[in-house]
Amino acid sequence: MSAAIAALIQADALCFSRNAERIFGPLDFQLEAGEALMVKGDNGSGKTTLLRVLAGLLPPESGEIRLGGKPFSRDTFVQLAAYLGHRHGHKAELTVLQNLRFTASLHGAVSESHLETLIGECGLAGFEDTPAGKLSAGQNKRLSLARLQARPSALWLMDEPYANLDLTGIDWVNRLVQHHIAAGGGALISTHGAYAAPAVPVRVLEISRSAAHA
């Protein structure tokens, strides 16, 4: 391979089937540092499944995933990437600050001032001590996006990051992605396509049930 920098994530002939029914694939794509890949498709087209396969939560039926040039393994994924699922992934009983602090300490050092900044940036200032269960759906999304930033990872796998957000929220997510990509990261974003894309180099991967066109 002559490429100077290996792609952050690369899929070769990736297929996934459930109960003998092909959900997607074969898919070929790659995502390099400094760009975003929008996975577009209708509801039920397999976007979430694709992201779960890429995160290693589901085993692919066939094909290969390479992370930073290396074959996929849980350890390389943990080092390189962060996954934002369609479920929030934080506890409703814990406060905003406790949830953020837990994510940060699970992934390394905790800096309280950094957490405060994150809470301010995601628009939850004043809600630090509110249990996440008392927040609205959009605010919960903001918190999970803040959790994504509470740890350093080059690749963001984001499943419907725009869901439940208001217009300023969508704008904020786009700025987040822009900032992340300007800093040399990459983002793989699944969306059903009704939102404005971030102003960054974007590749689009359209998927539909059992057929995909990159």
Interface residues with other proteins (CB under 8 A)?
A: 52, 55-59, 74, 77-79, 82-83, 85-94, 98, 102-103, 105-107
Q: Sheet harboring 202-208: ordered strands across?
A: 81-84, 155-159, 186-191, 36-40, 202-208, 211-213
- To other proteins, the closest distance from the beta carbon of 203 in angstroms equals 24
Cβ atoms of residues 177 and 28 within 8 Å: no
DSSP string, 82-148: EEE-SS--S-TTSBHHHHHHHHHHHTS---HHHHHHHHHHTT-TT-TTSBGGGS-HHHHHHHHHHHH
Complex with other proteins: residue 27 or 54, whichever CB lies closer: 54
Complex with other proteins: residue 106 or 182, whichever CB lies closer: 106
Complex with other proteins: residue 59 or 71, whichever CB lies closer: 59
What are the structure tokens assigned to 43, written together? 């509801």
- To other proteins, the closest distance from the beta carbon of 60 in angstroms equals 11
- To other proteins, the closest distance from the beta carbon of 48 in angstroms equals 11
- To other proteins, the closest distance from the beta carbon of 1 in angstroms equals 27
Q: b/e map of 96-117 (b: 16 or more CB within 10 Å)? A: bbbbbbbbbeeeeeeeeeebee
- To other proteins, the closest distance from the beta carbon of 87 in angstroms equals 3
Complex with other proteins: residue 33 or 94, whichever CB lies closer: 94
